Amino acid sequence: MNMTQTLEAGTAWPDQLYARLRAANVTHANYVPDAGHTQLIKLLHADEAVTATVLTTEEEGIAIAAGAWLGGKRSAILMQSSGVGNCINMLSLPVIARIPLLMLVTMRGEWGEFNPWQVPMGQATEAALRAVGVRVFRADSAEELLAIVPAALVEAFDADQQIAILIGQRVMGEKKW
């Protein structure tokens, strides 16, 4: 399945993901530009009720999400698996302080990957997140992703958990450059 394929009622999965985030009152999003998140980023920017912030590096998103929570906002961080390596030390902030965290991580270094530099972190992402205390969910289809998101939102924002949803490369389709 790729981003042009649709699910329920002719709506693409990024649109449905956006709707689930907004239904859970996520009003802040931080991201490093990523082709896998392009449609979601556009939707977030188009929503006047959402503050969408582009980051220079992924670990900034952890601190900004913590500040947003302390200011009464629910936040999501969008990144690639290669950016997870940049966040490992900073993840101690939400884990130790029990600050809710939701990360949507598009995976690289997997099925159909053209760039060998993406493979090492792609293979290490899940284990690295678990090692620092982040709860990890993985979706390898759009249907799985859309089923996981509501539960992950509850765990993050109602149970003060640190959650990463890994979005498998098959969900986005093979990248061609």
- pLDDT tens, 53-75? 999 999 999 999 999 999 999 99
Question: What is the token pair recorded at 66?
Answer: 């913590």
Question: Rounded to whole angstroms, how far apart are CA atoms 159 and 172?
Answer: 29
Would residue 98 count as lying in a domain?
A: yes
Quote the crossing angle between the two packed helices 142-158 and 13-23, to the nearest 10°: 20
Would residue 1 count as lying in a domain?
A: no
Domains held by the chain: number = 1
Distances (CA, A) of 173 to 96, 102, 142, 167: 36, 23, 11, 11
| Residue at token pair 């009003």 | 27
Would residue 18 count as lying in a domain?
A: yes
Q: Give, for 11, the enclosing helix (H) or strand (E).
A: none
Beta bridge partners of 51: 28
pLDDT of residue 7 exceeding 60, the answer is no
Cβ proximity of 2 and 137 under 8 Å: no
Higher-confidence residue of 3 and 35: namely 35
| CATH code of the domain covering residue 146 | 3.40.50.970
Would residue 153 count as lying in a domain?
A: yes
Would residue 148 count as lying in a domain?
A: yes
The percent of residues in the chain predicted with pLDDT above 90, rounded, is 77
Question: Rounded to whole angstroms, how far apart are CA atoms 80 and 34?
Answer: 7
pTM for the complete prediction? 0.91
Range of the domain at 78: 8-172
Question: Rounded to whole angstroms, how far apart are CA atoms 17 and 146?
Answer: 6
Would residue 3 count as lying in a domain?
A: no
Average pLDDT over residues 133-153: 97
Would residue 2 count as lying in a domain?
A: no
Would residue 84 count as lying in a domain?
A: yes
- Pairing between β-strand 101-106 and β-strand 162-167 as defined by DSSP bridges: parallel
Model pLDDT for residues 104-117, shown as the tens digit of each residue? 999 987 877 788 88
Coil, strand or helix at 29: strand
